[in-house]
Amino acid sequence: MGLDEDQEVDSKNVTIASEARFRFVHLTDTHIMAGGRWRPRAGGFEFDTEESLRRVVEAVRALDPAPAFAILGGDLASPDLLHRDRPLTSQEYEPSYRLLAEILARLPCPARFLVGNHDDRVAFNRVLRAAAPTANAPHYYGFDYQAYHFVALDSQEPGQAGGFLDPAQLEWLHLDLARHRGRPTVVFVHHHPWALGLEWIDTMTLRNGEQLMSMLHEHTQVRWVICGHVHLDQAVQRGRLTMLTTPSTCVQLSKVSQAAKVLPGPPAFRVVDVSGEELATRVLHLRADGSAEL
Ligand SMILES: [Fe+2]
Ligand SMILES: [Fe+2]
């Protein structure tokens, strides 16, 4: 299927929320690094992120019903992890984005993208976003599917592991949500705006996460905020808003360690089922023994 994030997804002309019925998947932290394997500093193993994403894509193909679209939640490519001694050029990132596009071409649905802290915006725009207005333009946007509205934010703060939303993006978000008041809305952002209670991971939150979440509170149609970045599944609810985090399609972080601790999988992704005003979700973990059974 196509990979152009600007294409219109077929929404079957459903405009009333109670009639909405579809599924989407959230695949995040794919960390594709063409030509190498990830050796996490806090892990003591090496991991083939390409192979694990290929397995995840096959699992998505097995879903019944098939998803309407896939959201790729950031940290799409990270050849920087193969060369920790120096900053990489955008040109050096490009083969990893091309490899990502090749792997995702087997998805049974269109893909839309977020960028994360490991991404290179220039290379991403060049390979996966032909319509980018400038070479290093941030990538935030909204789109509709049936009666629902979706927002993808760009929380990358270049050179930082944590994230930030600049005032221009927050202003855009405020206007976008005001324009879509009548539609149940799901927001995607790479960095987690609320702390998880895990010390090391919480040094890398969205710096102005409270500002984002209090804005979302004002827009009562916003239901869920779905994040990547933390390589584990967690849900945090405050008032009307629920923040969900999705595990990575490759390595995971410990759910109990307060210090950095990276685990060799299992690869995972999130399925979200929309049925009228109701949202249901599950995280699927692939089997560690490499078999395809779910
Ligand atoms: Fe990541
Ligand atoms: Fe990240």
Alpha-carbon distances, residue 167 vs 103, 140, 181, 207 (angstroms): 35, 13, 21, 13
CA distance 92 to 237: 40
**Nearest ligand, measured from the Cα of 161:** 2
| Dihedral sign for Cα atoms in the order 93, 95, 99, 102 | positive
Q: Ligand 2 center to residue 5 CA distance, Å?
A: 21
Q: Ligand 2 center to residue 155 CA distance, Å?
A: 10
Going by C-alpha positions, the residue among 163, 240, 146 that lies closest to residue 201 is 163
At 268 the pLDDT is 98
User: Could you read off the pLDDT tens digit of each residue along the chain, which spans 294 residues?
Assistant: 444 444 455 556 788 999 999 999 999 999 999 999 999 999 889 999 999 999 999 999 999 999 999 999 999 999 999 999 999 999 999 999 999 999 999 999 999 999 999 999 999 999 999 999 999 999 999 999 999 999 999 999 999 999 999 999 999 999 999 999 999 999 999 999 999 999 999 999 999 999 999 999 999 999 999 999 999 999 999 999 999 999 999 999 999 999 999 999 999 999 999 999 999 999 999 987 777 778
Q: Ligand 1 center to residue 229 CA distance, Å?
A: 4
At 43 the pLDDT is 87
**Nearest ligand, measured from the Cα of 81:** 1
Cβ neighbours around 284 below 10 Å, total: 18
Spatial contact of 270 and 280, defined as CB atoms under 8 Å apart: no
Read off the amino acid at residue 56.
V
Q: Ligand 1 center to residue 64 CA distance, Å?
A: 28
Please give the full DSSP string across 216-257, using - where no structure is assigned: HHHSTTEEEEEE-SSSS-EEEEETTEEEEE---SS-EE-SS-
Q: Ligand 1 center to residue 247 CA distance, Å?
A: 9
The gap between the terminal CA atoms of the chain, to the nearest Å, is: 23
CA distance 196 to 175: 29
Going by C-alpha positions, the residue among 14, 9, 115, 26 that lies closest to residue 63 is 26
CA distance 153 to 188: 6
At 1 the pLDDT is 43
**Nearest ligand, measured from the Cα of 247:** 1
Q: Ligand 1 center to residue 127 CA distance, Å?
A: 20
Q: Ligand 1 center to residue 251 CA distance, Å?
A: 9
Q: Domains plus CATH for the chain?
A: 21-285 (3.60.21.10)
Token pair listed for 138: 């941030």
Residue position matching structure tokens 């955008």? 90
Q: Ligand 1 center to residue 36 CA distance, Å?
A: 16
